[in-house]
């Protein structure tokens, strides 16, 4: 709090009855509880003294703010309010923090401008922590939080945040640097290839895995069909799904370079424009992304069945949000694209 004129008066806890707390006090019971015991502004009562002593508070602060200074809760609240936009909601300030959450009833993509996040954090003494842009946010989920580091900050710091956000809004038609893009409810056609599954020699594991991922994002596999490793049959089934006007077509299996794996060539022969066969991400490097007359079509590698996070988990939410995946999007997946167990 260098340079601030706030006056803090230290008072022994046993002499604090009737005084007002200057900040939140946290209680930690290992393995059981961590949270606010008393809120800023609480008037200390006689019954509070044992509780304060239990959390190691022999003294408390009584605070008088000087002109041009803000308490941590007030500063965090102002920062969060300037970031508000459609589809967002704020929590009450708590220990100098305010959470920014989704107010949507459906999953959504986080849309976050990193340059604004950098600029705000460069100011010092205050913090804006966010998800990465394009991260999936569940209904009611958190995408950002504001935080004040010291107990008191100059109001000029918060005014600088407000100016940064106002400048961004002026350049972006009024939109803020934090936003959400709701995911649509897609009806998906799923084609599972492979002679071993088609013949019944082994149980289909792809279908349940794809359904789990798709349904978690609010969409559905409307129909699943099966095909041997025969290129013409795969093409025929892709055309069938296209005639059903499904929102998306997913083809699983047969994505490697083995001679029996015919899926990539069949997707191309079906008339799809291939954006990329392969991604610079592990696991999921053998994924294919394309479009068949505007309908997204994806070829999924085997890792989707057993790895918890693959290139499919990265691209599917963006497709469901209505984005058109480009070659540049695929190339950008390499940075941060290594996921190890």
- Asked if residue 191 and residue 330 are part of one domain, the reply reads yes
Residues 24 and 46 in one domain: yes
114 shares its domain with 208: no
Q: Tell me whether residue 339 is in a domain.
A: no
Q: Are residues 315 and 281 in the same domain?
A: yes
Indicate whether 7 pLDDT > 80.
Answer: no
Alpha-carbon span 70 to 77, nearest angstrom:
11
Predicted local distance difference test score (pLDDT) of residue 260: 52
In the block, residue with structure tokens 């349904």? 215
**pLDDT tier for residue 177 given thresholds of 50, 70 and 90:** very high
Each residue's pLDDT tens digit, 251-310 = 998 887 665 568 999 999 999 999 999 999 999 999 999 999 999 999 999 999 999 999
**Could you tell me if 319 and 193 lie in one domain?**
yes
Q: pTM for the full model? A: 0.85
Q: Quick one: 102 and 55 in the same domain?
A: no
Number of domains in the chain: 3
pLDDT digits (tens, 9 = 90+) for 50-81: 999 999 999 988 776 788 988 888 899 999 99
Give the residue with greater pLDDT, 23 vs 308: 308
Residue 135 lies in a domain: yes
Most confident of 44-53, 166-175, 195-204: 166-175
Using pLDDT thresholds of 50, 70 and 90, give the confidence band for residue 22. confident
- How many CB atoms are closer than 10 A to CB 153? 25
Q: Tell me whether residue 97 is in a domain.
A: yes
- Decide if 151 is inside a domain: yes
Which residues of the chain form beta strands (DSSP E)? 7-12, 25-29, 33-38, 59-64, 69-71, 88-90, 97-102, 108-112, 126-130, 136-137, 142-148, 152-154, 178-182, 187-193, 220-227, 248-252, 273-277, 288-292, 295-300
Condensed to tens digits (0 to 9), the pLDDT of residues 81-123 reads 999 999 999 999 887 899 999 999 999 999 999 999 999 999 9
Q: How far apart are CA 4 and CA 88, in angstroms?
A: 33
Cα torsion angle, 302, 306, 312, 314, sign:
negative
Task: Give residue 58's domain range.
Answer: 7-64
Q: How confident is the model at residue 261, as a pLDDT?
A: 66
> How much is the pLDDT for 199?
86
Domain of residue 321, CATH code: 3.40.980.10
Cα–Cα separations (whole angstroms), residue 57 to 12, 36, 60, 191: 9, 14, 7, 64
Same domain, 289 and 210: yes
């Amino acid at each position: 709090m260098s340079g601030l004129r706030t006056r803090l008066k230290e008072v022994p806890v046993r002499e604090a009855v009737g005084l007002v707390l200057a900040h939140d006090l946290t209680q930690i019971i290992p393995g059981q509880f961590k949270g606010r015991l008393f809120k800023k502004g609480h008037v200390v009562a006689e019954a509070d003294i044992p509780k304060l002593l239990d959390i190691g508070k022999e003294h408390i602060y009584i605070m008088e703010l000087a002109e041009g200074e803000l308490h941590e809760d007030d500063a965090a609240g102002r920062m969060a309010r300037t970031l508000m936009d459609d589809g967002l909601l704020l929590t009450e300030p708590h220990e100098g923090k305010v959470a920014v959450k989704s107010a949507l009833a459906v999953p959504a993509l986080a849309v976050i401008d990193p340059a604004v996040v950098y600029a705000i954090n460069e100011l010092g003494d205050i913090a804006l922590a966010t998800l990465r842009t394009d991260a999936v946010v569940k209904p009611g989920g958190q995408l950002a939080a504001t935080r004040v580091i010291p107990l008191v900050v100059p109001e000029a710091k918060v005014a600088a945040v407000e100016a940064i956000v106002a400048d961004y809004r002026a350049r972006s038609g009024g939109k803020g640097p934090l936003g959400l893009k709701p995911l649509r409810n897609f009806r998906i056609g799923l084609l599972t290839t492979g002679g071993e599954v088609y013949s019944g020699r082994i149980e289909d594991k792809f279908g349940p895995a794809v359904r789990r991922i798709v349904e978690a994002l609010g969409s559905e596999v409307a129909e699943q069909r099966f095909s041997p490793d025969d290129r013409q049959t795969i093409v025929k089934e892709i055309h069938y799904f296209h005639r059903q006007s499904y929102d998306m077509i997913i083809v699983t299996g047969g994505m490697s370079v083995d001679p029996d794996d015919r899926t990539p060539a069949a997707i191309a022969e079906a008339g799809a424009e291939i954006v990329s066969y392969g991604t610079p991400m592990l696991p999921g490097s053998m994924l294919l992304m394309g479009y068949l007359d505007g309908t997204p079509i994806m070829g999924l590698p085997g890792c989707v069945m057993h790895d918890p996070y693959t290139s499919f988990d990265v691209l599917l939410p963006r497709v469901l949000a209505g984005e058109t995946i480009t070659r540049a999007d695929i190339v950008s997946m390499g940075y941060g694209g290594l996921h190890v167990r």
